[in-house]
Amino acid sequence: MCPCGRHQAIVPNYKNVSPGVVDDVIKKLTCLSKGWLQ
């Protein structure tokens, strides 16, 4: 869930996250500033 509470991204297997899942999370959590995911 993002800080504004309007966006949500679910990561089913948080120990092994594929690049496609990361891209999807970035697209879904649009209100976060660029570079938030390191």
- What pLDDT does residue 38 have? 66
Share of the chain above pLDDT 70, in %: 97
Question: Do 10 and 25 meet the contact criterion of CB atoms below 8 Å apart?
Answer: no
Residue pLDDT, tens place only, 24-36: 888 888 888 887 7
- What pLDDT does residue 18 have? 87
